[in-house]
Amino acid sequence: MKAPLELSVPFTDDNFRNVLQTFHLPTATEWAILDDTPHFYKHTVNNDKNAVGFTMRIPTRRITSMNMALSVSYDASTRITSALLIGLNDEQQGFIDEQVSTLSNSSFHPLLLPTLLMCHYEFRLHNKVQQLYGDVVSIETLTGQTSMPSPELNDASLEVDLGDRALTRRVLGIAQVAIPAESETQALIQGIALIRQGLEVIDRLDRNQPALSQYPVEEIAHTAAELLNYYLDCCDARANIALSDFEFLSKRADVLMNALYNYAAWDTAVATKRDSTSMKAIAVLTMFFLPATFFAAVFAMPVLDFSVPAGQSVIRDRFWIYCVLTASVTSLVLIIYYSYGLLHKKSEDKRKIAAFQEGRNDIRSPPASLGTQSAGEKRESTDSELFCWAKRPRQCNRKRQAGGDV
């Protein structure tokens, strides 16, 4: 019998069928083991109205180390409970053994094992919440995105940029775990509700059976049901807290991913601006030498005399004309270029100021005590803050806390 996701089944097909018949387990036991989705279902057993069966599956999705399958049958007429539990490791098996020994008075109840497994699974999910939350805090501390950093990480030597590849992988890891963990926790909450319904089914079966002896079985069963309900209440409350935590971690992971995307866009914009500046410098340099090259070609013949004997200067007396014209035209070209740049900049500033004033008229002015800021100052302050958060997040955070300028 081959089970999915490394779930070991210590039976051959023939032995497995013998186990089902001997312990009167539900016929859906094989399906429950092979299923790859979390569930808790109630089944009929051999069409016996005094018997009931349950199957439970907690598959691993690499979120926790739990990967188990459980099949339980209960005969209310004989008060006999049979169960098949596979897939637990040594640590989990030790936990179940300890709990069953501690709750030996309730060990006959068919829903004791499902309740203990649900509580243990919730404990594992809560540990995953603490792990992911620690990862989020450490990432936000290392990138300077929190004003309350972790003391053990408050070291300038540990500071990293948002573009660090290892940091990107850690953020993706948080998102990949937190999002499916939400659905796992929701399945856990639904399973707790189904176990409560199973407790009601067991209670109805026990109440319809005659007393077997003078031993107060009904009273013990009622006490066990109350204890299991108490465990389920605690587990349900903690599971809802874990669900809220996973939702919060998913949102924080989205914020971190957006920060990474923004940093990548900012880095691309800086590189593009650097390339455009280099191209502009090349164009200006070409423009500077172009008049000299042009006049050198035009006046090469009348300015230079290559027919003179060896050892004499080839420059004629009229060479000063070339120098004067070259300097004048070059200066004129540069002045025209610089003037055009100034006019274009002033035109853009006027357009931005007009747009800012138009939007400002639609909003009530702030109180005078808050002060005002011009559009240029706001733009300069915003650009400075963006540069600070992208390249020097920790120093920027400290300056902001001290009330200084970024």
Task: Say if residue 354 is in the same domain as residue 388.
Answer: no
- Which run of H or of E encompasses 205? helix 165-207
Determine if residue 372 is left, alpha or beta; phi over 0 gives left, psi from -120 to 50 gives alpha, anything else beta: beta
Residues 6+ apart with CB under 8 A from 336: none
Closest CA to 181 of 111, 122, 100: 122
Give backbone dihedrals phi and psi of 96, rounded to 5 degrees, phi first. -65, -45
Q: Residue 233's pLDDT is what?
A: 95
Q: List residues bridging with 39 in a β-sheet.
A: 57
- Is residue 192, in this structure, part of any structural domain at all? yes
Q: What angle do CA 88, 250, 236 make, to 5 degrees?
A: 50
Q: Residue 164's pLDDT is what?
A: 63
- Is residue 264, in this structure, part of any structural domain at all? yes
- Is residue 352, in this structure, part of any structural domain at all? yes
- Is residue 181 within 8 A of residue 245, CB to CB? The reply is no
Rounded distance between C-alpha atoms, residue 59 and residue 33, angstroms: 9
- Is residue 85, in this structure, part of any structural domain at all? yes
Could you tell me the residue range of the domain that residue 338 belongs to? 299-359
- Is residue 22, in this structure, part of any structural domain at all? yes
Give backbone dihedrals phi and psi of 299, rounded to 5 degrees, phi first. -100, 15
Long-range contacts of the stretch 131-137 (C-beta < 8 A, 24+): 132/174, 132/177, 132/178, 132/181, 132/246, 132/249, 133/245, 133/249, 135/170, 135/173, 135/174, 136/174, 136/249, 136/252, 136/253, 136/256
Task: Say if residue 85 is in the same domain as residue 37.
Answer: yes
Task: Say if residue 159 is in the same domain as residue 308.
Answer: no
Question: End-to-end alpha-carbon separation of the chain, Å?
Answer: 66
Task: Say if residue 389 is in the same domain as residue 341.
Answer: no
**Quick check: helix, strand or coil at residue 223?**
helix
Task: Say if residue 203 is in the same domain as residue 315.
Answer: no
Task: Say if residue 381 is in the same domain as residue 341.
Answer: no
Residues 6+ apart with CB under 8 A from 341: none
Domain boundary (268, 291, 324) is at 268
- Is residue 406, in this structure, part of any structural domain at all? yes
- Is residue 202 within 8 A of residue 115, CB to CB? The reply is no
| Number of separate domains in the chain | 3
Residues 6+ apart with CB under 8 A from 182: 243, 246, 247, 250
Q: How many CB atoms lie within 10 A of CB 26?
A: 24
In the structure encoding, which two tokens stand for residue 386, read together? 């963006």
- Is residue 68, in this structure, part of any structural domain at all? yes
Task: Say if residue 151 is in the same domain as residue 192.
Answer: yes
Strands in 22-101 per DSSP E = 39-43, 51-58, 68-75, 80-86
Task: Say if residue 195 is in the same domain as residue 140.
Answer: yes
Closest CA to 269 of 380, 390, 144, 140: 390
Task: Say if residue 162 is in the same domain as residue 227.
Answer: yes
Alpha carbon 273 to its chain centroid, in Å, reads 31
How many residues are listed for the chain in this entry?
A: 406
**Quick check: helix, strand or coil at residue 72?**
strand
Task: Say if residue 202 is in the same domain as residue 315.
Answer: no
Task: Say if residue 178 is in the same domain as residue 132.
Answer: yes
Q: Residue 197's pLDDT is what?
A: 94
Give a three-class secondary structure readout of 278-345: HHHHHHHHHHHHHHHHHHHHHCHHHHECCCCCCCCCCECCCHHHHHHHHHHHHHHHHHHHHHHHHHHH
Domain boundary (245, 268, 291) is at 268
Q: Is the pTM of this model over 0.75?
A: no
Task: Say if residue 147 is in the same domain as residue 264.
Answer: yes
- Is residue 276, in this structure, part of any structural domain at all? no
Rounded distance between C-alpha atoms, residue 406 and residue 400, angstroms: 7
Per-residue pLDDT of the chain (406 residues; tens, 9 = 90+): 544 445 666 777 788 888 888 888 998 888 888 888 888 999 988 888 889 999 999 887 767 878 889 999 999 888 889 999 988 888 888 989 999 889 888 888 999 999 999 999 999 998 889 888 888 887 777 776 665 555 555 554 445 555 566 777 778 888 888 888 888 899 999 999 999 999 999 988 888 777 655 556 677 888 889 999 999 999 999 999 999 999 998 888 888 888 777 777 887 888 888 788 778 778 777 877 777 777 776 666 566 666 777 777 777 676 777 778 778 888 888 888 888 888 888 888 888 888 777 765 554 444 444 444 544 444 444 444 444 444 445 555 555 555 554 4
Residue by residue, DSSP assigns 224-273 as: HHHHHHHHHHHHHHHHHHHHHHHHHHHHHHHHHHHHHHHHHHHHHHHHHH
